Amino acid sequence: MTARPASPWPWRAAASCVLATALHAAPVHAQADADTTATASISREEVHALLEGLTEQLLGLQAETDKLRKIKLSGYVQARFEVSEASSDSVRVSGSPAALTVANQSRFFIRRGRIKLTYDSSPRSQGVVYFDGGQDRTVRLLEAYVTLKDWWTPMQDHQLTIGQFNVPFGFEIERSSATRELPERSRAENVLFSGERDRGIKLEDQWTPKLRTVVALLNGGGVNDPDFANTDPTRGKDFVGRARWSEGWLDVAGSYAFGRDVVPLSGPDVWPTRERIGVDAQWFFTLPRLGGGSLSAEGYLGHDTNADSLRTLVQTVNVSATQQARLLRPGADASHLATDFQGGYVMWVQGVGEWAQAVVRHDRYDPNVDMDHDQYARWSLGLNLFYDGNTRLSVSYDDIRTEVAATAGRFADPHDNLWTFQVQHRF
């Protein structure tokens, strides 16, 4: 399907064709008929008939272009080259069937290749289907939802959405990756809301020009859940709520999410609670000579299943030649599968004239506040150059600080800093 922007020019072309035919037809009749007065009146009728036909055709065309105008096709491509300090040419072969683990991380790749189709069928409803073909090179459904808009407010302040969409929590989740000033979201967001999306229903309300709230009921695990990406193991749905106050130059919001996770085991499962609290703020300003800038911060804290705990406390054992069991390790405490976490970021984005933008961000994530050496911290520097209205060239550098066990009970930070070069085209 093509979604060409509706333009009046095909009508004009059709109109000129028909009129040209009519004008050419007139002299032929003039020669064939001796009575010139009669010819002139017939010609006029003919032109009239032709114009009527044309009007009908135009109405038909208008109906078609009105349909096309409701379809909006958009998307973007992010082509990248990355250079990591952690790169090496060794390849590990292990497992049965053999799996290859590649240590090299210096590569060209397509981070995001997205296409979004929006259909505004009527002022009251909208349908969206959104695909991504980047990163793993399999095309996957990112979003698919239907939005019903209210009919009793002029600006349609109340909207109900059902389907698969971004989890309405915090600031960076719902912000497009095509707009974001650094290649990736913060570590805390990546771990807590992997894939950013879930399936469910949400209600958005713009109560006053400054106050907006969102409440949602979701499956809970999100679209990247390792065990239940396509299902929900619990009948109970996760609740997500957010309230945002927008002054224009300063926006602040608080978010809350609550639900229950399942750690599937052979025998009784473990059901940790999932609770997340978020606060975020964005301050917009203009600096003399440089231009517009923003300072933003976001914090996440709560209690959730911990991937490190799963690795260390849960094991898969061979029960027989053909059967495996997933069990807690002997002595492991099931209540330690979920831990208290905290994380967040502070980011400064500064426009430099019309065509450049500089950004610096510090982000941190600690999956377990009661344990040492498991935290993640990163300084990111970036520069974006706007090549034209659609194309952005970016370079960024990530200085990643983690601790891994080294010799004699010491911990060391692995060499894994990352350069990212990216060209993005948006359409």
Q: In the complex, which residues of this chain contact Ca ion (CB under 5 A)?
A: 220, 232, 234, 366, 368, 371, 374-375, 400, 413, 416
Minimum CB–partner distance for residue 339 and Ca ion (Å): 8
Q: What is the largest CA-CA distance in the chain?
A: 115
Report the 10 Å Cβ neighbour count for 65: 17
Residue (232 or 363) nearer to Ca ion, CB: 232
Rounded to whole angstroms, the Cα distance separating 241 from 216 reads: 6
Identify whether 97 is preceded by a cis peptide bond (ω within 30 of 0): yes
User: CA 404, 408, 409 angle in degrees (round to 5)?
Assistant: 50
Closer to Ca ion by Cβ: residue 170 or 367 = 367
Do residues 101 and 412 lie in contact, with contact meaning Cβ atoms separated by under 8 Å? no
Q: Smallest distance, Å, CB 416 to Ca ion?
A: 5
Q: What is the Cβ-side half-sphere exposure of residue 207, based on CA atoms within 13 angstroms?
A: 8
Q: Which is nearer to Ca ion, 280 or 366 (CB)?
A: 366
228-244: b (≥16 Cβ within 10 Å) or e: beeebbbeebbebbbbb
The distance of closest approach from Cβ of residue 399 to Ca ion in the complex, given in angstroms and rounded to an integer, is 7
Nearest CB to Ca ion, comparing residues 183 and 351: 183
State in angstroms the smallest separation of the CB of 382 from Ca ion: 18
- For residue 76, the minimal CB distance to Ca ion (Å) is 30
User: With respect to Ca ion, which residue has the nearer C-beta, 271 or 283?
Assistant: 271
DSSP-derived secondary structure for 238-302:
EEEEEEEEE-SSEEEEEEEEEEE--B--SSS-B--EEEEEEEEEEEEEEETTTEEEEEEEEEEEE
Q: How far is the CB of 375 from Ca ion (least distance, A)?
A: 5
CB 117 within 8 A of CB 144: no
- Whose Cβ is closer to Ca ion: residue 205's or residue 269's? 269
Q: CA 353, CA 310: separation in Å to the nearest integer? A: 49
Which lies closer to Ca ion via its Cβ, residue 105 or residue 246?
105
The DSSP symbol for 178 reads T
CB of 232 to Ca ion, least distance (A): 4
